[in-house]
C-alpha cells in the first residue's frame, strides 16, 4: 500500500478512493446495496460537495443552503459517505447501512438523515423534485430578495432516472420555466441492472435535452478539472437549466468488475474488495477506513461556509428590523399550518352548486390571504376552477418568476412530484389539480407526498360516473377507495359547498401529511348552516351526525360521502317513521382517529341496521356497516350517457335508496 499522498490533486484522488472504500465496505457488511453506480459518480459528487456546495456545517436545515438531491437513490452510500465527511453522519452510521432505524436506510429518506433533501426511491422522482425545489428558490428569491434566498439546486441522475417518463415530462417544464439555478448531473455509465443501456435505449440525451431548452455540457465524469469547469459553466447560465453529461465507467477503480452490471445491485465479494483496495492504495485489512487527513482536506472550506451562514443570519435579522413588510411576509410563510387563521366564503343555502365550484370560490378567497400559495392544473384550468387563480396571480415562468400559477400541461405525474419538491424546499403552499380518474397517473407522487410527510394539496374534480357523456374512461369507480389505502393521507370528499370549505380548511392546516380533495362536476344542494350548525366541527372529525330522528334515538344509520349525502338526507326524510340517522363521512381517516367515545356517539354499536351510499367501490364501507350491513356502490365501470340517465340506471336516487331500505329492514 502506498503512503497517503499530500499534494492537492493527489489528495483529491485519494479522498475519492477512500469514499469508494466506504461504499464497498458498507454494502458488503449489509450484504445488500448498489456499489457500482456510487463508485462511477464519486468523482463528480466529491468535487461538488468539497468545492461548490453551499451549506452550514453546523445546521443541515439552514434556509439558504444549496439543495443536493440524489435522484439515483440506489447510490445512497455515496451520499452517506459525503455526509460523513462533512460531519452530519458517523462511521457508526455507515456500519448500520440498511439496518432497522438507522440513519442510513437503503434509499435516502429526508426525514431520517440530516443532509438528505428528499426521499428518492422510485427513479425519476428525485429529478422532478429537484426541479420543484428550484421553482421554490426562484419564486422566493424574487419575493424575499436575493440577500435572503439565493442558492442552487443540484441533482444527480442515472440512466434509469432518465428512462422514467416522469423525468422527461418534468424536464420539459423546467426548460420552459427557465430554471437557471437547476443543475443536473447525468452519470452516464451506460449500465443498468439488467445489462448495457443500449439494450433498452437509443436516445441522444444531449439533443433531447437541448430540444427541451436546456444547456447541455458533456465531459469525462472522472476528470476533476472538467467537472469543475462544467459546474462553473452551469452556474454562469442564468436562463436555462443545465444538464452535465458525465461519461463514466461503472464501478470505476474496481479490480476486475469495471463496467459490469454485476456491481449495480449486489455487493462486491470480499476478494474483489481486497483486490480493489490494493489497486486504490487503501489498507486492504481495514474496513471503514477514514483517516483524519482526508477529513481535514475535505473540510478546508468549512470556516468560509460557517462565516457565510452567520452573515446571512445577521442580514436576515437586520432586514426584519428595517423592513416591516418583509418581516410580515417572513413570519407568514413560517407560521405553522395549524395556526393559520383562514377566512372562507359564504354560500347561499338552498341553491345548487357543484363542489368543484365551491372549491374555486375557496381558492379565489385564498389568493390575498396567502401570497405564498402556488399551484395549477394539468391542462384542465376551466374544469378544475383554477382560471381565476391563474389570471389573478399570473403564470410562473422565466419572464414572470413571481407568477403563482403553473401551466403543467397534460403531465399529471410530473405535476405531483414537482409539488413534492416545492413542499420539500419550504416556504410555499403547493397545490395541483386534475380529474379524479387521472389520480392513477399521479398515484406514486401522492404516495411519496404521504411517505415524506408533505402537506401538499392534491385536488381532484369530476369524481364519479356523474361525469356522464365522457364515458367509462373518465368516470372514476375505484379511485376514492384506492386513495384511502395510502397511509398518512387524508382523503376528503365533501357533500356540499360548506363541507367543501371545511375540508379545504382541514387540508390547509396539515403540517405532516398531504390531502386529496375530491369534488363533483354536478351541482349539489347547499345545506343551511342554521339547521346544520356543526358542519365545520364535524368535518374536522371526519364524520358526524348530519340529521337525526326527532327523538334522537336512531334505529337505522345511513352513511354517505360527497354527492350521495343529499341522497341519504332525502331518503331519511322520505321515511320519517323509520328513525334514520344520517351520517356524513367526508374523511374516513380523520373519523378513525377520533377516540372511541366519539365514534360510538356517531355509530352506536346497538344500532346494527346500517347502510352506506357512495358512487364508487363499496368494499371499504363494510368496516362501518358490518358484514350484515348494506352498501349502495359500484363494482363495475360506467357508461357514456347523460348523468341523469346513469344515476337512475345505477340506483343513485332517493327512490332507489328508499326502496332498498324498505326491502331490507322496513317490510
Residues making up the binding site for Mg(2+): 159, 189, 191
Q: Does residue 412 have an active-site annotation? A: yes
Give the integer Cα–Cα distance in Å for 639 and 451. 35
For 442-495, give the DSSP string: HHHHHHHHHHTT---EEEEE--SGGGGGG-GGG--SSHHHHHTTSTT-EEE--S
- Residue with the three cell numbers 378567497: 365
Buried b or exposed e, range 84-121, using 16+ CB within 10 angstroms: bbbbbbeeebbbbbbeeebbbbbbbbbeebebbbbbbb
Cα distance from N-terminal residue to C-terminal residue, the chain:
91
H or E segment and range at residue 657: helix 654-665
Return d(Cα 147, Cα 141) in angstroms, integer: 8
As to burial, measured by CB atoms within 10 angstroms (0-12 exposed, 13-18 middle, 19+ buried), residue 296 is exposed
∠ CA 26-32-38, nearest 5°, is 60
Catalytic residue chosen out of the listed positions 164, 261, 412, 499: 412
Cell of 593: 382517529
Which helix (H) or strand (E) element contains residue 294?
helix 292-298
The 3 state secondary structure assigned to 3-58 is CCCCCHHHHHHHHHHHHHHHHHHHHHHHCCCCHHHHHHCHHHHHHHHHHHCCCECC
Determine if residue 3 is left, alpha or beta; phi over 0 gives left, psi from -120 to 50 gives alpha, anything else beta: beta
Count other Cβ atoms within 10 Å, centred on residue 311.
11
Give residues with Cβ within 8 angstroms of 146, minimum separation 6: none
Task: Identify which of 27, 17, 40 has the alpha carbon closest to the alpha carbon of residue 251.
Answer: 40
531 exposed, middle or buried (CB, 10 Å; 0-12, 13-18, 19+)? exposed
Binding-site residues sit at 34, 74, 121-123, 159-160, 189, 191, 264, 356, 383, 438, 462, 470, 474, 521
Pairing relationship of beta strands 191-192 and 195-196 according to DSSP bridges: antiparallel
Q: Just list the catalytic residues.
A: 412
Amino acid at each position: 500500500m502506498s503512503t497517503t499522498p499530500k499534494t492537492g490533486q493527489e489528495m483529491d484522488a485519494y479522498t475519492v478512493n477512500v469514499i469508494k472504500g466506504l461504499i464497498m465496505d458498507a454494502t458488503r457488511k449489509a450484504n445488500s446495496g448498489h456499489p457500482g453506480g456510487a463508485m462511477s459518480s464519486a468523482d463528480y459528487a466529491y468535487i461538488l460537495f468539497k468545492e461548490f456546495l453551499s451549506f452550514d456545517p453546523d445546521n443541515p436545515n439552514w434556509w439558504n443552503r444549496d439543495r443536493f438531491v440524489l435522484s439515483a437513490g440506489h447510490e445512497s452510500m455515496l451520499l452517506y459517505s459525503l455526509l460523513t465527511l462533512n460531519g452530519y453522519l458517523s462511521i457508526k452510521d455507515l456500519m448500520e447501512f440498511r439496518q432497522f432505524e438507522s440513519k442510513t436506510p437503503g434509499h435516502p429518506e429526508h426525514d431520517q438523515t440530516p443532509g438528505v433533501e428528499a426521499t428518492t426511491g422510485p427513479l425519476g422522482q428525485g429529478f422532478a423534485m429537484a426541479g420543484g425545489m428550484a421553482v421554490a428558490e426562484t419564486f422566493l428569491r424574487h419575493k424575499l430578495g436575493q440577500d435572503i434566498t439565493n442558492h442552487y439546486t443540484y441533482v444527480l441522475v442515472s440512466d434509469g432516472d432518465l428512462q422514467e417518463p416522469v423525468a422527461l415530462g418534468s424536464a420539459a417544464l423546467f426548460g420552459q420555466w427557465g430554471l437557471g439555478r437547476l443543475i443536473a448531473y447525468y452519470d452516464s455509465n451506460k449500465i443498468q441492472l439488467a445489462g448495457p443501456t443500449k439494450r433498452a435505449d437509443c436516445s441522444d440525451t444531449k439533443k433531447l435535452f437541448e430540444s427541451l431548452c436546456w444547456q447541455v455540457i458533456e465531459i469525462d465524469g472522472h476528470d476533476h478539472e472538467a467537472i469543475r469547469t462544467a459546474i462553473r459553466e452551469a452556474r454562469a447560465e442564468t436562463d436555462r437549466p443545465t444538464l452535465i453529461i458525465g461519461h463514466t465507467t461503472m464501478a470505476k477503480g474496481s479490480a476486475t468488475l469495471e463496467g459490469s452490471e454485476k456491481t449495480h445491485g449486489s455487493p462486491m465479494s470480499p476478494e474483489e474488495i481486497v483486490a480493489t483496495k490494493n489497486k486504490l492504495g487503501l489498507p486492504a485489512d481495514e474496513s471503514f477506513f477514514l483517516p483524519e487527513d482526508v477529513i481535514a482536506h475535505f473540510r478546508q472550506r468549512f470556516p468560509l461556509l460557517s462565516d457565510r451562514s452567520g452573515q446571512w443570519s445577521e442580514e436576515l435579522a437586520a432586514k426584519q428590523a428595517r423592513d416591516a413588510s418583509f418581516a410580515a411576509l417572513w413570519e407568514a410563510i413560517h407560521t405553522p399550518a395549524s395556526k393559520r387563521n383562514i377566512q372562507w366564503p359564504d354560500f347561499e343555502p338552498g341553491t345548487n352548486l357543484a363542489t368543484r365550484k365551491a372549491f374555486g370560490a375557496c381558492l379565489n378567497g385564498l389568493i390575498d390571504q396567502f401570497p405564498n400559495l402556488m399551484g395549477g392544473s394539468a391542462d384542465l384550468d376551466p374544469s378544475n376552477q383554477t382560471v381565476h387563480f391563474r389570471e389573478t396571480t399570473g403564470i410562473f415562468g422565466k419572464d414572470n418568476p413571481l407568477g403563482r400559477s403553473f401551466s403543467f400541461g397534460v403531465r399529471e405525474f410530473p405535476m405531483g412530484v414537482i409539488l413534492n419538491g416545492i413542499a420539500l424546499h419550504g416556504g410555499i403552499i403547493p397545490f395541483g389539480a386534475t380529474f379524479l380518474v387521472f389520480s392513477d397517473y399521479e398515484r406514486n407522487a401522492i404516495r411519496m407526498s404521504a411517505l415524506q410527510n408533505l402537506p401538499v394539496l392534491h385536488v381532484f374534480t369530476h369524481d364519479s360516473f356523474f361525469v356522464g357523456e365522457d364515458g367509462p374512461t373518465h368516470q372514476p369507480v375505484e379511485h376514492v377507495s384506492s386513495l384511502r389505502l395510502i397511509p398518512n393521507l387524508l382523503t376528503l370528499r365533501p357533500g356540499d359547498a360548506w363541507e367543501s370549505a371545511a375540508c379545504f380548511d382541514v387540508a390547509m392546516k396539515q403540517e405532516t401529511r398531504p390531502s386529496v380533495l375530491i369534488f363533483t362536476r354536478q351541482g349539489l344542494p347547499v345545506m343551511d348552516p342554521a339547521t346544520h350548525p356543526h358542519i365545520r366541527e364535524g368535518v374536522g372529525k371526519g364524520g358526524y351526525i348530519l340529521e337525526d330522528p326527532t327523538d334522537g334515538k336512531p334505529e337505522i344509520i345511513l352513511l354517505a360521502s360527497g354527492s350521495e349525502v343529499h341522497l341519504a338526507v332525502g331518503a331519511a326524510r322520505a321515511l320519517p317513521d323509520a328513525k334514520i340517522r344520517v351520517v356524513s363521512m367526508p374523511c374516513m381517516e380523520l373519523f378513525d382517529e377520533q377516540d372511541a367515545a366519539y365514534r360510538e356517539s356517531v355509530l352506536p354499536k346497538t344500532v346494527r341496521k346500517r347502510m352506506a351510499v357512495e358512487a364508487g367501490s363499496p368494499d371499504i364501507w363494510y368496516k362501518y356497516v358490518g358484514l350484515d350491513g348494506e352498501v349502495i356502490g359500484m363494482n363495475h365501470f360506467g357508461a357514456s350517457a347523460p348523468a341523469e340517465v346513469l344515476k337512475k340506471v345505477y340506483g343513485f336516487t332517493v327512490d332507489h335508496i328508499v326502496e332498498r331500505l324498505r326491502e331490507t329492514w322496513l317490510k
